[in-house]
Amino acid sequence: FVEKICELRLNRKLGLEIHGEGEPLIKDPADKSWSGISLPWMSIGYEVKLTPMQILTLYNAVANNGIMVKPHFVKGIMENEKVVETKNTEILNPAICSKETLTKLRKMLEGVVLNGTATNIKNDNYSIAGKTGTAQTNYSKSKKGTEKMKYQASFVGYFPADKPKFSCIVVINNPS
């Protein structure tokens, strides 16, 4: 399981061209904090740390027929209305999984919006595929002085689901 996560490059920074990119954390059985419940917890997203951009890059690969590309924020640089530099697409992984697995995955992600936890974003204009998420983040003191768990809610996906053009992630800290 951990080896496959590492093959997907989720254990490494993306090398973004912005300052302050977060460092991912993928536990390994050799880690001191590894326990008998680490693997099942990791399978549902706990005991790992990923930035929203790393998660989005993985979902973008699903939308991009399995090809994982490095995100870039600039397509090219212009000077006096003339392109002086073009940024090329960098492929990080040419195939994140088999075509058969990709087909099944895309169908499941479409199902999340059609019949699952994200039916509230279903619309008649275009189809959406993606996944909702909820994570415990930390505790905070309530007005009464008691500790209250804080959460983070998210949705990551792409659209139109049948011929993706856009991928996006929305993260809301401490939703109400």
pLDDT at 54 (0 to 100): 95
Q: How confident is the prediction along the chain (176 residues), in pLDDT tens digits per residue?
A: 999 999 999 999 999 988 899 999 999 999 999 999 999 999 988 889 999 999 999 999 999 999 999 998 888 899 999 999 988 999 999 999 999 999 999 999 999 999 999 999 999 999 999 999 988 887 666 677 777 888 899 999 999 999 999 999 999 998 88
pLDDT at 75 (0 to 100): 86
User: What pTM value is reported for the model?
Assistant: 0.88
What token pair was written down for 158? 């792409």
Instruction: Give the separation between CA 14 and CA 10, rounded to whole angstroms.
Output: 9
Give CB contacts under 8 A, 24+ apart, made by 22-30.
Answer: 22/49, 22/51, 22/54, 23/49, 24/48, 24/49, 24/50, 24/51, 24/54, 25/49, 26/2, 27/2, 28/2, 29/2
pLDDT at 142 (0 to 100): 67
Give CB contacts under 8 A, 24+ apart, made by 129-136.
Answer: 129/62, 129/63, 129/157, 129/158, 129/159, 129/161, 129/164, 130/59, 130/155, 130/156, 130/157, 130/158, 131/59, 131/155, 131/156, 131/157, 133/45, 135/45, 135/46
Backbone angles phi, psi at 109, to 5 degrees: -65, -35
